[in-house]
Structure 1
Amino acid sequence: MACIAGNTTKITSTTHKRSLTMIKERRLPHALHMMFSGSVAIGMSLLAQPLQAQEDNQEEEAPQQMQRVEITGSSIKRLVAEGALPVTIIKADDFVKLGSTTAAEVLSNVSGNQTNYTTTANVGAGRTVGAAADLRGLGPDKTLVLLNGRRLANAAFDGSAVNLNVIPVAALDRVEILRDGASAIYGTDAIGGVINFITKRSYTGLNLSAEGIAPQQSGGAEKRFNLSGGFGDLDKDRYNFFGVIDYHSQNAVKASDRSFAAPGGQNPGLGLNAGSGNTYPANYYDINADQSGNPYSASGCRPPYAFAQDGVCRYNSQAVIGIVPKTEEIAVIGKGTFKLDADNTASVEYLHAQSKVKTYIAGDVFAGDGSGGSSDYVINPNSPYYPGNGITPGSVSGGPLSLNWRSVDAGQRVGESKNSSDRLLFSLDGTLAGWDYKTGLSYAMSKASEALVGGYLNSNMVREGFLNGILNPFGPQSAAGIDYLKQAQMSGVYLDAKTQVTSLDFTASRELFQLPAGPLGFALGGEFRKEQASFNVNHALSDLVESTGSQDSKSASGSRSVKALFTELNVPIVKSLEAQLALRYDGYSDVGSTVNPKVALRFQPAKEIMFRSSYSTGFRAPSLYELNNPNANTYTAAPYNDPMLCPGGNVAPGGIPARDCKQQFFKMQGGNKNLQPEKSNSFTLGMVIEPHPNITASVDYWNIKIKDQISVIPESEIFADPVKYADKFVRNPDGSLSHIIDTNVNLGNVHTSGFDLGFAWRLPKTAWGNFGVSLDGTYVSQYDYQTEAGGEYLNNLAAYSGGGVIFRWRHAATFNWSRGPWSVALQQVHTTGYRDQNGSQVAEGYRNHQVGSYTRYNASGSYSGFKNLTLTAGIKNLFNTDPPASNVTDNFQYGYDARYGDAIGRAFFVRANYQFF
């Protein structure tokens, strides 16, 4: 990729074959005249630079040797040129100016990234990836994430995707995004595209930066510090060492801190009427009288979080959670590069990154089963808190009462997820006997754990506390009860996992010979990879805390070896037409082998216009996590009605309202050893035009079909069609619902298509400075999927379905101005609206709700007039736009969809960067 300013060309290489080189630019031949590699990069440095050299009134320099480089999407090094594949490049300087503090935030402004896998979405969810990329909305497992062109270990708790929280943002030079299937080049999981995070090649000096972000509303404050330094000149000293230490943290945000989240499940404006039957005060089931009730239902329960409904109380648990978790991240990366001779270098690189995510949800729950047995939560007539004994009002049969209780006096449940990633890489690259080569040996490891920090109680002690009369299920605890709850507090790690990848790779490329239209480029490579994964359950802890759902889980492990061989040709057919041909073989020790081809064409009939097209197949083997993850119970994200004992919200014979109606039930999640691989076909067709030297526009059509997609059936669909999914309901001996089965399955097919659009215009220089505008947009024309092989296709485009939504249109538009040491950037990020979930917890008259479009503006200004110091200040979400209202209940945050909306609101940031030498 080249960015030309004035009469110099800056050439960067994703393989880092040589240090960044500045060379004089000569008039390029027509075949090299187009300067972008697909969609226009959304970084502002792109706007501040011409799209091609300003050649008028320039004297042509003597020809100089131009360096061949490798761009993401091809293994063949060649002169910098417009490629046959759509590649977006984002410079690190640009996303730093706008206050982006995480890799996930950087990618959120990429129109083709339809992600809903963010750190915020971890609230109330365990064993997640943390944050992940999701090109085309196909899922994180079909977007390949690389660091410097090579793999990282996938997240240990979701072993099919890389956790973006471990990407060292402060060490990045740029991000290259290939919006095309690339299984033939990179391997089987590059179906939706490839995101290559590229760190600085080398560095000399010492640099310190500090940043603070202060939201206008309570909570969510951020801070970031990073120190980078290096010494040694590759050309003079023949070595360079550099390293980066980066620290970032963000405070939590409570639901009560934001007006759109504060109502929780009681939101009349959205018709949302949701609450948990595990409540404070406790609901009871009178075993002798066969009826449910609550001593305080007639008096309105205990507001503000408990409310009366149908003779029992329900708890508005979503009003007391943290809607944004507390996060802390640290990354350390070090690299040593040694120049062996003029053409060859060796390097060693080590990365360590770790993140901690602390989530806050409502107090622990204890759900009685109505049996009165040893597994039930029961209060007997001899308890001082039994209704009618003088403390708790009411009159019941005088027999044992089965309880559905939520602990309030013990405080919120606080959980902590820890993720870490390490990678050690030894590599060689250079030129040998006329071949450009690169080879590397790497070891990568990802570890994760889930821990109980506070608010989780020993379930057996709670049972005993009710039976012996110490605990009050209907009101505030006595001093003895408070002491008892303190003794019952449980903490520690109850789940942990680890994935390991050892890899040896080799690629060599060269021009074989000259054809009439140009040189024939050839590449050949191979890879051997050993993958291992283990998942461990600490039963000494999890068995005592039923709300972890891990009592029946079993530790598991798996391993596989992968062998790959690939080749690529770049064939100039005529001067204006060339083809890229690639073929890759992957052999998996556990699921078989596959061969995937790719064909791409590039046609440039004139220097102002270029056409490109590609076709490829893909194959994704189920990850070790998807195969071996221990099955465990967790609560459904939303409350539902038992379709047998409470159909349509009406209690049936044998039903108990507090147990069977509007309740969060258990669902069993985990791996499935019978999963089949996914297969795909991808097609792209696009064009790039440059009607004026300062204007570039592009449009690319893409069409992707996936067979046998691996995922889980959305819980809402299981409850919505109990006949179709009858085998997913597991019942207790008394007929009550034990749990639903929602483990990984092959759902069926996916078919999606759409258009990527890019535009950039750099205005001519003026006395008032330099101006530029750009647009990066994606229009999705189709997204259909099946929930079972051969089933009907369901629409997910602009309509909430299957646990998420695919937006019809997303774009990021940027305006940039600079003059001398001053620069200003203004960014607009826009997403169109969609039809809401409109689920069973929404009143009938509100089930046609449309979620509105969402537009945010970010602005910043920088000044670099001080010696060695650059100052930046800005505002994120300039107009303090709330996320659009949504009645979604599939995630823990209610009133808006936390996977797509920004709960922080307007935030002010300042950043200082000082270079010591």
Structure 2
Amino acid sequence: MGCDQPTVRPAMFTAFAPDPVRLSGKLSYWRPALLALGLSLNHTPALASDPLATAPIQYNIEAPQLASALIQLSQQSGLSVVFSDQVVRELPAPEVVGTVKTSEALDTLLLGTNLGWELVDDRVIAVFALDCAAALGCPSPREMLDQYPIYVPGLEQTYVYGTHVTGSRIRRPGYSGGAPVDILSSPDIELSGAQTLGELLKFVPAVSGNANSTAISNGGDGTATVTLRGLPASNTLVLINGRRVANDGLAGESVDLNSIPPAAVERIEILKDGASAIYGSDAIAGVVNVIMKRDFYGFLAEAYYGQAEQGDLETSTQTLQYGTGLPEGSFFISASLYNQEPLYSRDRDVSASADTRPLGGTDQRSSATPNARVTLPGGPTLIADGAGYRQAGDEDLFNYQDYTTAVVPLERRSLYSNASYDFNESITGFVELSHLETEAASTLAPTPVFTAFEQSDLAVAADNLYNPFGVELVDVRRRLLEFPERRQRNESEVTRFSAVVEGLFADWNWDVAYNWSRSEATEVTTSIVNADRLARAIGPADNCLGLAIDGCIAVDLVGASGSITPEQARYISTTGKVSGYSKLYGTAMNFSRALAGMPAGRTDLAFGVEYRREATSKKPSALLASTSTIGATNFEATGGDRNVMELYLETIVPLWKSADGLRSLDVEAALRMSDYSDFGTTTNPKLALRWQASPSILLRGNYAQGFRAPSLNELYEGNTEEQAFINDPCTQVVNVDTLPGCSRQADPTRNQFLVLKGGNADLKSETSDSYSLGIVLTPVEIPGLAFSMDYFSVEQEDVVSSSAQFIVNQNAFTGAFDDRVARDDMGNLTLVTASNLNIGQREVRGMDLAFTWHLPGRRWGQFTISGSGSWIWEYLARLDRTAPELDLAGTFRDEASEGLGGIPEWKSQLGMRWQRERWSASYQLHFISDMEEIIPDSRQTREIDSWIVHDVQLNYSASFLDGLRLTLGIDNLLDEEAPLATSAFNDNIDGRMHELRGRYWYTRINQRF
């Protein structure tokens, strides 16, 4: 590499995309790459004044290419390494495995390359070409770094100048901003053993509430979402490489995490603060930014297999990856196949029965029994027994959990690829393309029929062929065991494409980007009932004379199990199908630069404009659209689109800096204006302060306004039919003739009622105010220790809600919403109409804690101890401004009962890692505090026990075959059973917070060439 004509790679390089640096005398695009990834908490060991003179460190460097090997050295040593990517491009690297000094590891890696290295700072190593370093006029690494320092330690993540950290559009080195960011790096993902992003994020302390996953069978659709701070998934913005992507294809309101292949993920950055000023809508609770792999050299083949100790939930993953440097760029491709077998509710003690009284719970079995349950007009309730009828007893109920899947079987096929190309020394292009297909298949109990409570008009006619009572029967309940189990099959295809061109012009960094994504999904439910045919089959005899006569077959709905013949079952059975898509495409232009010469240091500025178009459609089959099925969700078609134009401005201004440069005060400010074609314009600001009080004390504070635009589904959703859990005040004797809406006592044995929900085109956006205040400590007295504590507060207004419970309560207590609440002559609820309204309010307050301690390496190995926790001490929620305020911190109420799920006061993790020569191991403890269960059909509460799970993993890098790595892991080592949640709609546990699977072991083998 000669000095007169530098051949150094510009804008986009292997790991990051830093800004160019002006060198002495001439403009050169020297592209340094800082390779200390992940939390600086996890990569900042104790260092002496000369880190290369410390005791040897355990290294396990197995990358076939030098660039990747230097990345691994940086990660394992905690030192920053800078180099020109083009200088090391295509160079191979030897293996470095064992306990050696960092200087020895560097010498081994650079042997025979004509490259040298120099320690130019306490924690910065520069790698450079020897001929250029010796030539007259070339700056040495020390001179280059003196002119433009690149290393700044911080809690969040340490970057070279020019990289983006989630929560800011400004390129900045090692800058920890006004809000905390958790980072799950590639080693973190590997040590978790997780094979889906939903599984990986489940135990993150900041995650609580109603996240969806394959552990949610009844009411789930095979997708997975993330919920920060207990707020709905629609309040957490999910990005891929910092850019928006389409939501779930069935008119979803958030991104399906199952549509992102973990094998191609480099790291996940979790911003735990409002960020609408930076990213726009949806970032009220925070942002999850998934960064895909780019810096990968060589070929990798990996196989994973795991299963629960009881022999079910077999899971396998096969992955192939290839990456290489090109003369003017790079190329990477990853393909993986994932398969997860089911776990059935009946195969675990806590979930085997809906009757949990033996476990200290309640009886949630269904009154739709295989033997028909018939309520005579004004008379008793009888049950068929094959020889006639008898009085129905308290135990004449049906355990539907004999049939249901607790964890849904899932298959995922994914392909991800990216490439970069250097057009010249100042312009680089980058493209990425991914395609993923998923298939999920849940099993539900055979279809139940409640004639009195379906939307279709169902009654067994007095003269029906099979009616032995001679009177019209309005309330007949029957579980159709003559049908096979219901099967719900969900399939999706997600395709994403993006292209970015970026470069440098007159000290301005610029980029122009286009991104396109489309998610298509279908849902097919089999063995459900055609309600129109059933109404005719149980209606008047002269309207159903036989298949050959009038095309109708009478059905014996009032008999004992088995009374419905195969011919009758075929006549009334049907299949429901839903198809839909979500699409998003847009363009963006971004500009940024550093303004030097300011009294307190450089000022950073970024601004840009973004345009996107969003569209969604969800179409049911004809019977579902006409509310003519039983056993599936009936709804009308949904469709809508909109255009969004946004402008933003962001700056970081230094207010003060001490003479020695060790103390400083900076202010961050941002403003974003968003114009939506459907609901209007909104402007959201952000202001943050960052005070480096001393080299070991950092104070930070943040204020941000946020908003969430109503989703296309919330705006334009067609009427949707569901059976919702509702606590009807009119079932209580004390309220009859006392409350305006309760003239008769309703049936106290029912807690599930027909509800119609739908969109509202007049919705306005949800708004929020977020505050945070934190401290970061890196005490010099305890080398290698970093600790952070951050207070947070989120206040949310105009929350979109479709609450049948709210409408029923208001109708009972005040007589309001008479047009939305329908009751029969017996006082029973028959229909509640609950369309979307801006009526809710929430206030969430708590604290995040985190620490990491890197112990000095010893002859017995290197240890790292880390922990994090989230404390929610207050979660105030109300359905509307007139409703009472409820504190949900430390409580559980199931989503099926219009609850926000489990919101534990404490959720935390504690981990330890050890590495010595070719061996490494990890231990992880997950803790979820106890919760008070709010039982919807009573005034009672009960305690859900706290839960502690221990995970361990052992790794060995084989000496007999280069690049071979073996892994053995056990999750839930002590086989801790999930605590009982008696009101949970799925499996008697909070499946979003706890796990049903029990002890689970897995193995992984990968070979890298």
The answer to whether the aligner puts 1:245 opposite 2:327 as a matched pair is no
What is the rounded CA distance, in whole Å, between the counterparts of 2:557 and 2:637 in structure 1?
37
- State the partner residue of 2:115: none
- State the partner residue of 1:632: 720
What is the rounded CA distance, in whole Å, between the counterparts of 2:358 and 2:837 in structure 1?
37
The answer to whether the aligner puts 1:887 opposite 2:975 as a matched pair is no
**Cα distance, 1:135 vs structure 2:** 1.2
**Cα distance, 1:700 vs structure 2:** 0.8
Q: SS at 2:269's partner residue?
A: strand
1:36-55 counterparts in 2 under 5 A? 49=76
- State the partner residue of 2:667: 579
The change in CA–CA distance for 1:210 and 1:664 in structure 2 (over 3 A counts) is same
Paired residue type of 1:151 = R
**Cα distance, 1:862 vs structure 2:** 0.6
What is the rounded CA distance, in whole Å, between the counterparts of 2:690 and 2:636 in structure 1?
53
The change in CA–CA distance for 1:122 and 1:744 in structure 2 (over 3 A counts) is farther
- State the partner residue of 1:877: 972
The answer to whether the aligner puts 1:275 opposite 2:365 as a matched pair is yes
1:405-424 counterparts in 2 under 5 A? 405-424=478-497
Rg (Cα) greater in structure: 2
Paired residue type of 1:309 = G
**Cα distance, 1:270 vs structure 2:** 2.7
1:308-707 counterparts in 2 under 5 A? 308-309=392-393, 313-369=396-452, 375-378=457-460, 383=465, 396=469, 403-452=476-525, 454-463=526-535, 466=538, 471=556, 473-477=558-562, 481-486=565-570, 488-491=572-575, 493=577, 495-540=578-623, 543=626, 545-547=628-630, 553-575=635-657, 576-636=664-724, 638=725, 643=730, 661-662=749-750, 664-691=752-779, 692-707=782-797
What is the rounded CA distance, in whole Å, between the counterparts of 2:678 and 2:571 in structure 1?
48
Q: Is the 8 A contact 1:204 1:229 kept in 2?
A: yes
- State the partner residue of 1:391: none
**Cα distance, 1:486 vs structure 2:** 3.9
Q: Is the 8 A contact 1:498 1:534 kept in 2?
A: yes
**Cα distance, 1:508 vs structure 2:** 1.1
**Cα distance, 1:23 vs structure 2:** 6.0
Q: SS at 1:330's partner residue?
A: strand
Uncovered stretches (5+) of structure 2, i.e. residues with no partner: 1-12, 21-28, 46-59, 61-71, 81-100, 105-117, 122-140, 151-159, 542-552, 658-663, 894-898
Q: Which deviations, in whole Å up to 9, do the C-alpha atoms of 1:164-215 show, x marking residues without a partner?
A: 1111211011111111111111112211111110011143332111111110
1:707-746 counterparts in 2 under 5 A? 707-713=797-803, 715=805, 718=808, 722-723=812-813, 727=817, 728-731=820-823, 736-746=828-838
**Cα distance, 1:611 vs structure 2:** 0.9
Q: Is the 8 A contact 1:366 1:377 kept in 2?
A: no
1:16-27 counterparts in 2 under 5 A? none
Paired residue type of 2:982 = N
- State the partner residue of 1:292: 381
Q: Is the 8 A contact 1:472 1:481 kept in 2?
A: no
Q: Is the 8 A contact 2:633 2:721 kept in 1?
A: yes
Q: Is the 8 A contact 1:351 1:424 kept in 2?
A: yes
The change in CA–CA distance for 1:681 and 1:355 in structure 2 (over 3 A counts) is same
Paired residue type of 2:372 = A
Q: SS at 1:314's partner residue?
A: coil
What is the rounded CA distance, in whole Å, between the counterparts of 1:185 and 1:559 in structure 2?
23
Q: Is the 8 A contact 1:352 1:422 kept in 2?
A: yes
Q: Which deviations, in whole Å up to 9, do the C-alpha atoms of 1:318-348 show, x marking residues without a partner?
A: 4432222222222221212111123321122
**Cα distance, 1:446 vs structure 2:** 1.9
- State the partner residue of 2:126: none
- State the partner residue of 2:951: 858
The change in CA–CA distance for 1:547 and 1:102 in structure 2 (over 3 A counts) is same
**Cα distance, 1:473 vs structure 2:** 4.1
**Cα distance, 1:355 vs structure 2:** 2.3
What is the rounded CA distance, in whole Å, between the counterparts of 2:914 and 2:208 in structure 1?
29
- State the partner residue of 2:202: 108
Uncovered stretches (5+) of structure 1, i.e. residues with no partner: 1-10, 27-33, 302-306, 388-395
Q: Which deviations, in whole Å up to 9, do the C-alpha atoms of 1:611-631 show, x marking residues without a partner?
A: 111111112211111111111
What is the rounded CA distance, in whole Å, between the counterparts of 1:370 and 1:618 in structure 2?
41
* 2:905 corresponds to which of 808, 813, 822: 808
What is the rounded CA distance, in whole Å, between the counterparts of 1:39 and 1:275 in structure 2?
55
**Cα distance, 1:161 vs structure 2:** 1.1
* 2:863 corresponds to which of 771, 788, 797: 771
TM-score by length of 1: 0.86
The answer to whether the aligner puts 1:786 opposite 2:878 as a matched pair is yes
**Cα distance, 1:438 vs structure 2:** 2.2
Q: Is the 8 A contact 1:265 1:318 kept in 2?
A: no
The answer to whether the aligner puts 1:196 opposite 2:289 as a matched pair is yes
Q: SS at 1:249's partner residue?
A: strand
The change in CA–CA distance for 1:401 and 1:806 in structure 2 (over 3 A counts) is closer
The change in CA–CA distance for 1:265 and 1:720 in structure 2 (over 3 A counts) is farther
Q: SS at 2:630's partner residue?
A: helix
The change in CA–CA distance for 1:56 and 1:620 in structure 2 (over 3 A counts) is same
Q: Is the 8 A contact 1:130 1:163 kept in 2?
A: yes
**Cα distance, 1:316 vs structure 2:** 2.6
Q: Which deviations, in whole Å up to 9, do the C-alpha atoms of 1:13-38 show, x marking residues without a partner?
A: 67688999776999xxxxxxx94599
What is the rounded CA distance, in whole Å, between the counterparts of 2:76 and 2:321 in structure 1?
27
Q: Which deviations, in whole Å up to 9, do the C-alpha atoms of 1:479-525 show, x marking residues without a partner?
A: x81244245442352x2222211211111111123212211111111
Q: Which deviations, in whole Å up to 9, do the C-alpha atoms of 1:767-789 show, x marking residues without a partner?
A: 11111100011111211011102
The change in CA–CA distance for 1:343 and 1:897 in structure 2 (over 3 A counts) is same
* 1:817 corresponds to which of 908, 914, 919: 914
* 1:223 corresponds to which of 316, 320, 339: 316
Q: CA RMSD in A?
A: 3.7
Moved more, 206-215 or 639-648: 639-648
Q: Which deviations, in whole Å up to 9, do the C-alpha atoms of 1:68-118 show, x marking residues without a partner?
A: 222111111122233333111111232223311111111112111114312
Paired residue type of 1:343 = S
**Cα distance, 1:646 vs structure 2:** 8.5
Higher relative contact order (CA 8 A, sep 6+): 1
Paired residue type of 1:683 = Y
Q: SS at 1:124's partner residue?
A: coil
Q: Which deviations, in whole Å up to 9, do the C-alpha atoms of 1:796-843 show, x marking residues without a partner?
A: 1012353423211111111100001110000001010111123326xx
**Cα distance, 1:857 vs structure 2:** 0.9
What is the rounded CA distance, in whole Å, between the counterparts of 1:36 and 1:526 in structure 2?
35
What is the rounded CA distance, in whole Å, between the counterparts of 1:253 and 1:243 in structure 2?
33
Task: Indicate the percent of aligned positions where both proteins have the same amino acid.
Answer: 27
**Cα distance, 1:424 vs structure 2:** 1.3
Q: SS at 2:950's partner residue?
A: strand
What is the rounded CA distance, in whole Å, between the counterparts of 2:464 and 2:845 in structure 1?
67
What is the rounded CA distance, in whole Å, between the counterparts of 2:471 and 2:636 in structure 1?
41
Q: SS at 1:722's partner residue?
A: helix
The answer to whether the aligner puts 1:760 opposite 2:858 as a matched pair is no
The answer to whether the aligner puts 1:899 opposite 2:986 as a matched pair is no
* 1:849 corresponds to which of 918, 931, 942: 942
Paired residue type of 2:421 = F
The change in CA–CA distance for 1:255 and 1:869 in structure 2 (over 3 A counts) is same
The answer to whether the aligner puts 1:832 opposite 2:929 as a matched pair is yes
What is the rounded CA distance, in whole Å, between the counterparts of 2:19 and 2:573 in structure 1?
56
* 1:187 corresponds to which of 270, 280, 300: 280
The change in CA–CA distance for 1:872 and 1:570 in structure 2 (over 3 A counts) is same
What is the rounded CA distance, in whole Å, between the counterparts of 2:389 and 2:943 in structure 1?
33
What is the rounded CA distance, in whole Å, between the counterparts of 2:822 and 2:245 in structure 1?
39
Q: Which deviations, in whole Å up to 9, do the C-alpha atoms of 1:259-305 show, x marking residues without a partner?
A: 00112135343341223232211112335x6543223399999xxxx
The change in CA–CA distance for 1:620 and 1:472 in structure 2 (over 3 A counts) is closer
